[in-house]
Amino acid sequence: MIPALAGGALIGLSALLLYAALGRIAGISGIAFGALDAGSRAWRLPFLAGLMGGGWVAVLLGAPLPFAALPNALSGLAVLTVAGMLVGIGTRLGSGCTSGHGICGLSRLSPRSLAAVAVFMSVGIVTATFLRRVLI
Amino acid sequence: MKTVIIALLCGLLFGAGLTYSGMASPAKVLGFLTLGPGWDPSLIFVMGGALAISLPGFWWLRRKQRPWLAESFSSPASNHVDGRLLAGAAVFGLGWGLAGFCPGPALVSIGFFQGAALLFVPAMFAGAVVAGFLRKR
C-alpha cells in the first residue's frame, strides 16, 4: 500500500507542478498525441523524455522493474494490437486518459472528467473481469 | 529553458511515480480491473495518493490569473458531457481492460524495452491518428 500511495503522490505532484508552472494538463494521451504536431513539441518532448527516464530513476532507487512481456501466442499479439488501437482511438475521441481525466480533470472538479472516469473504469472492469473470469 | 526543465522534471516525477507504484506493469493494473478472488485495490491508492496532492493544489490555484511561466492556463473550456466523450471513454475502457495498458504506463514500459509496449504503443498512435481524422469530419 505504501508504494501505491507514495507513487501516487509523485504523480499528483507532477500534475500540480505542470499546471502551476506551465498551465498545462498532465494528461499523457494528450501530451503524446500532441507531440505528433511539430508546432507543439517544445514542452511535450522533454516531458515525455522525463516520463521514460523517471521509470529508470525509480528502478535505480530500488523500485521493481516493470514487466510487460510480449505474448507468445498469435491471439495474444492480436489482442494487444487491438487494445492499443482502441486506447488510441478512445483517448483521442474522449479527450483524455487515466491521468488527464482521472487526476487533473477530477482535481479541476470537471463534470466531463467525472463522467469519463466513471465510463472507462466501469468498461475496463467489466472487460477485464469478463475476459479473465468467464472466457479464460 | 525554464519551461523545458520544468517539463522534464514533471515527466521524471510522473514516470517515477508510475513505476514506484507498480502501475507500469499491466499485470498489476489487470489485478485491479479483474474483480473476484485475489483482487488488488492498489490502483485506488495510487489515484488517492495523487488526488491528495493535486485536488487541494488545483483548488489553491483556481484564483491565480496565470501560471508562473506561461501566459495563461490551457485547461479545457468545455464542461459539456457529450456523446463523443462517453463513446471515447468506453472505447478506451475496452482497450484498457483487454491489455491493462493505458498511455502513461505503456510509454514508461517502452523506456524499459518491454516487448508488449513495443507493439502496443505504435498501435495506440495509429489509433489516435485514425481518431484525429474522425474528429475532423
Q: What is the pLDDT of residues B7-51, one digit of tens each?
A: 999 999 999 999 999 999 999 999 999 999 999 999 999 999 999
Q: Is A134 on the interface with B (CB under 8 A)?
A: no
Mean pLDDT of chain B: 95
pLDDT tens per residue, range A37-89: 888 889 999 999 999 999 999 999 999 999 999 988 898 999 999 999 999 99
Instruction: Indicate yes or no: CB of B19 within 8 angstroms of CB of A58.
Output: yes
Q: A44: part of which helix (H) or strand (E)?
A: helix A44-60
Examine the pLDDT at B106 and tell me if it is beyond 80: yes
Angle between the N-to-C axes of helices A111-129 and B26-33, in degrees from 0 to 180, rounded to the nearest 10: 90
Task: Report the distance separating Cα B50 and Cα A92, nearest Å.
Answer: 23
Contact check, Cβ <8 Å, A3/B22: yes
What is the full DSSP assignment across A60-81?
HTTPPPP--PPPSSHHHHHHHH
Give pLDDT, residue A135.
Answer: 81
pLDDT digits (tens, 9 = 90+) for B41-100: 999 999 999 999 999 999 999 989 999 999 999 887 778 999 999 999 999 999 999 999
In this predicted model, what pLDDT tens digit does every residue of A88-109 receive, in sequence order? 999 999 999 999 999 999 999 9
Other beta carbons within 10 Å of A110: 21
Residues in chain A within 8 Å Cβ distance of B81: 111-112, 115
Taking contacts as CB-CB distances below 8 angstroms, the residues of chain B near A40 are none
Taking only the tens place, the pLDDT of each residue in A11-36 is 999 999 999 999 999 999 999 999 99
Q: What is the pLDDT of residue A40?
A: 80
Angle at B118 between CA A6 and CA A65, to 5 degrees: 35
ipTM score here? 0.96
Check whether B111 has a pLDDT greater than 80: yes
Predicted confidence at residue A99, as pLDDT, reads 96
What's the confidence (pLDDT) of residue B133?
86
pLDDT, position A125: 98
Residues 29-68 of chain A with CB under 8 A from chain B are 29, 32-33, 36, 42-44, 46-59, 61, 63-68
Percent of chain B's residues with pLDDT above 70: 99
Q: Provide the CA B124 distance to its chain's centre, in angstroms.
A: 13
- Residue B114 in grid coordinates: 518491454
Rounded Cα distance, A75 and A83, in Å: 12
What is the model's pLDDT at position B137?
65
